[in-house]
Amino acid sequence: MPVKTSTISFSPTCLPVSKGFQKCLAQALNQHDEDLGRHVTLNFRDKSYSAANGGFHPVEIALQKIKDAHYSILYITDFSYCGGPYPELERDVDFDIGNGMAFSCYGGWQSIREPLMAELYELWQSNFVAYVDMDAYDEIKVSSH
């Protein structure tokens, strides 16, 4: 696999993007050995996650390439199994950075600038980085369109 020589960077967003989170995204992007298009989707999966046994929620992150190896984060969606007796995988938390909105299954859509949404994001981001660091996701896919 070719070694990437360019440094991946991210545009500032309305939410703070930690160095640890940027590192997680850059590592996933660097595993992709072909040139990526303008729109990139990262999917992080724990293949053993199920409604019955739990596990780590699937996460989808959409990026837009601004120039070369510089990206903007468009949205972050965390999914979980909801409902019974036949649970379905549904959006649990969604940070729609491009539109300045955030969703939680308990609070619905709100401004991403609401203090509770900012707190939820900070907690989500630190947990996600910790999960990546402990190899909780055994499937990471990068797709480009």
Q: How far is CA 13 from CA 52, 67, 95, in A?
A: 36, 16, 11
d(CA 98, CA 115): 18
Residue at 15 is within a domain: no
Residue recorded with tokens 């981001």: 125
Residue at 2 is within a domain: no
| pLDDT values of the chain reduced to their tens digit, one per residue, 145 residues | 333 445 889 999 999 999 999 999 999 999 876 778 899 999 999 999 999 999 999 999 999 999 888 999 999 999 999 988 889 999 999 999 999 999 999 899 999 999 999 999 999 999 999 999 999 999 999 999 8
Give residue 83's pLDDT.
Answer: 82
Residue at 112 is within a domain: yes
Tokens of 100: 């300045």
Give residue 95's pLDDT.
Answer: 97
CA 20 to chain centroid, in Å, comes to 13
Q: Alpha-carbon torsion 141, 91, 57, 73, what sign?
A: positive
Output DSSP code: residue 48: T
Give residue 5's pLDDT.
Answer: 41
CATH number at residue 129: 3.10.450.430
Q: How many domains does the chain have?
A: 1
Give residue 68's pLDDT.
Answer: 84
Selection from 46, 48, 4 nearest residue 26 by Cα: 4
Residue at 96 is within a domain: yes
Residue at 64 is within a domain: yes
Give residue 4's pLDDT.
Answer: 46
Selection from 9, 86, 89, 87 nearest residue 45 by Cα: 89
Structural Rg of the chain based on CA atoms? 15
Range of the domain at 47: 22-139
